[in-house]
Amino acid sequence: MFLKKNTNSESLKYSIKIKNFYNKSQDFVISPFNPFGVISDFGKEVLDKYINEFNNKKILDIGCGHGHLLKYLSDRGAKTHGVDISDVALKVARHNSPKSKLITGEGGKLPFNDNFFDYIICIETAEHFLNIQKAFNEMYRVIKKGGILILSNPNYFNTAGILKLLLEKFKFYPKNTFAPFSNWKKQSNENFVTILNLKQKLIRSGFVVFDQFTYNLLHGLIPFISVNWTFYRFWPIRKLRHIVERARNIFPLNKIGMNVITVCQKPKKLISQR
């Protein structure tokens, strides 16, 4: 392993800003994969679909938060590593997933050797990077040839995206801070990402994208519908959400869900994706 010193002043200031934000805002250290402190059935379904073998596989979770995903992977026999910019979150992660190797760091400068991991997972994190392209380049560098990258990100190719642009343009929200849930604080950095520009950036880094689909269609269409994540504890709301989600595979609804899963691979041989 190695760790490069960061001499870029903009990047350093940004890192300090983001670290302070997440150290003080642990309520943001959640995702659709673990909204209630344990990995969700949806998260398990996605991981089990794309990870062929867990036992002894080296898996990196970028933006690992409180370590719930790491614990699930570790319990399946994987050799797990986690990176997060929040020291506070990592203290919790060390308790939740004691077998995992955890490092304070960020996506744009991963402290690992080339071709080190079999799988990389990055859930609701890449949209907060200062330079998403640079982070994807780093993921490409540290993953093995043939390795699989699983991403989950917001998708703003929908009503939520229109609202984000309008609210930020007319200064209801500072730029890149949109949070479409009424009780959420403004994000410290929330880049405008879509199903298309994520794919373009990954291809530019060298990955082959072989699956991509959106989910949380209800939020993509009506982004302020929920008060908070606990809203979905209520059976009627979960039922409504499940009914709407059944339509998310129908074009064009399959492009406008609030979140997008992207699965790609570092090719074993250099190929053209044109």
Over residues 149-185, the pLDDT tens digits come to 999 999 999 998 998 999 899 988 888 888 766 556 6
Rounded average pLDDT over 54-64: 97
Q: Number of H helices and number of E strands within the chain?
A: 9, 7
pLDDT score for 235: 67
Predicted confidence (pLDDT) at residue 8 exceeds the cutoff of 70? no
Q: 193: Cβ–Cβ under 8 A, 6 or more apart, which residues?
A: 126, 127, 132, 153, 154, 155, 156
pLDDT interval class at 28 (50, 70, 90): confident
pLDDT, position 273: 45
Averaged pLDDT, 223-245 = 66
Cα–Cα distance for residue pair 136/166, rounded to 1 Å? 28
pLDDT classification of 225: cutoffs 50, 70, 90: low
Residues 205 and 137: beta-carbon distance below 8 Å: yes
CATH classification code of 9-155+192-216+257-265: 3.40.50.150
Quote the CA–CA distance of 82 and 86 in Å, as a whole number.
11
pLDDT in tens, 239-255: 777 777 777 778 888 89
User: Residue 122: its pLDDT value, please?
Assistant: 97
Instruction: Report the C-alpha gap between 156 and 160 in whole angstroms.
Output: 6
Average pLDDT (247-264) is 89
Higher-pLDDT residue of 133 and 11 is 133
DSSP 255: G
pLDDT of residue 226: 56
Quick one: which H or E segment has residue 72?
Answer: helix 68-75
Provide the pLDDT for residue 204.
Answer: 97
pLDDT of residue 29: 83
- pLDDT at residue number 4: 42
Burial class (CB in 10 A: 0-12, 13-18, 19+), 48: exposed
Q: How far is the C-alpha of 119 from the C-alpha of 265, rounded, in Å?
A: 9
pTM (two decimals): 0.88
CB of 57 closer than 8 Å to CB of 79? yes
